[in-house]
A and B are shown apart, each in its own frame.
Chain A
Amino acid sequence: MAAVRIPPTLRAEVGGARQLEARGETVAEVLDDLVERHPALAAQLLAGGELAPFVNVFVGGEDIRTLDGTETHVRNGDSIVLLPAMAGG
Chain B
Amino acid sequence: MARALAPSLLDLVGSTPLVELPRLSPRPSVRLYAKLEGQNPTGSIKDRVAKAMVDAAEAAGELEPGRRLLEPTSGNTGISLALVAKLRGYALTCVLPASVTEERRRLLRLYGAEIVDSPAAEGSNGAVRLALELAEHDPSWFMPFQYANEANPRAHYEGTGAEIAEALERVDVLVAGLGTGGTLMGAGERLRESFPDVVVAAAEPLPGDEVMGLRSLADGYVPPVLDVSRLDRKLLVSNEQSVAGLRLLLEREGIFGGVSAGAVVHAARRLAEKLDEGVIVCVLADGGWKYLSAGFWDAEDVGAAMERSVWW
How many A residues, CB 8 Å from partner?
26
Whole-angstrom distance between the Cβ of A4 and the nearest chain B Cβ: 14
Q: Chain A 39-67, CB within 8 Å of chain B: the 1/0 string?
A: 00000110000001111101001110110
Q: Chain B 213-228, CB within 8 Å of chain A: the 1/0 string?
A: 1111111111100001
CB nearest to A7 among chain B residues = B212
Check A66–B232 contact: CB distance below 8 A. Answer: yes
Does any Cβ of B come within 8 Å of A89's Cβ?
yes
Whole-angstrom distance between the Cβ of B145 and the nearest chain A Cβ: 10
| B177, B221, B310 — most chain A CB neighbours (10 Å) | B221
Q: What is the bound-complex CA distance between A44 and B216, given in angstroms?
A: 7
Check A52–B218 contact: CB distance below 8 A. Answer: yes
Check A89–B222 contact: CB distance below 8 A. Answer: no
| B220, B222, B231 — most chain A CB neighbours (10 Å) | B220
Check A62–B236 contact: CB distance below 8 A. Answer: yes
In the complex, what residues of A have CB within 8 A of residue B218's CB?
44, 52, 54
In the complex, what residues of B have CB within 8 A of residue A62's CB?
233-236
Q: What is the bound-complex CA distance between A53 and B221, given in angstroms?
A: 9
- Given A9-B214, A44-B216, A63-B228, A86 and B221 contact (CB-CB distance below 8 Å): yes
Q: What is the bound-complex CA distance between A8 and B123, given in angstroms?
A: 13
Check A63–B217 contact: CB distance below 8 A. Answer: no
CB nearest to B223 among chain A residues = A87
Check B214–A8 contact: CB distance below 8 A. Answer: yes
In the complex, what residues of B have CB within 8 A of residue A7's CB?
209, 212, 217
Q: Chain A 1-13, CB within 8 Å of chain B: the 1/0 string?
A: 0000001111000
Check B217–A52 contact: CB distance below 8 A. Answer: yes
Q: What is the bound-complex CA distance between A27 and B312, given in angstroms?
A: 29
Q: What is the bound-complex CA distance between A63 and B155, given in angstroms?
A: 26
Check B205–A88 contact: CB distance below 8 A. Answer: yes
Q: What is the bound-complex CA distance between A42 and B61, given in angstroms?
A: 47
Q: Chain A 60-76, CB within 8 Å of chain B: the 1/0 string?
A: 01110110000000000
| B212, B218, B229, B312 — most chain A CB neighbours (10 Å) | B218
CB nearest to B128 among chain A residues = A87
Q: What is the bound-complex CA distance between A56 and B209, given in angstroms?
A: 15
Q: B180's contact among A44, A65, A87, by CB below 8 Å, is which?
A: A87
Check B220–A55 contact: CB distance below 8 A. Answer: yes
Q: Which of B5-13, B24-32, B70-78, B246-254 contacts A (4 or more CB under 8 A)?
A: B70-78
Whole-angstrom distance between the Cβ of B220 and the nearest chain A Cβ: 3
Q: Chain B 143-161, CB within 8 Å of chain A: the 1/0 string?
A: 0001100000000000000
Does any Cβ of A come within 8 Å of B191's Cβ?
no
Check A87–B179 contact: CB distance below 8 A. Answer: yes
A residues adjacent to B (C-beta < 8 A): 7-10, 44-45, 52-56, 58, 61-63, 65-66, 81-89
Q: Which 8 A-B pairs have the closest CB atoms?
A: A54-B220, A88-B179, A84-B220, A63-B234, A89-B179, A85-B220, A89-B180, A66-B234
Task: Show 19 residue pairs from A and B whose CB-CB distance is below 8 angstroms, ordered by the A residue.
Answer: A7-B217, A9-B217, A52-B217, A54-B219, A54-B221, A55-B217, A63-B231, A63-B234, A65-B229, A84-B125, A84-B213, A84-B219, A84-B220, A86-B124, A87-B147, A88-B260, A88-B312, A89-B49, A89-B312
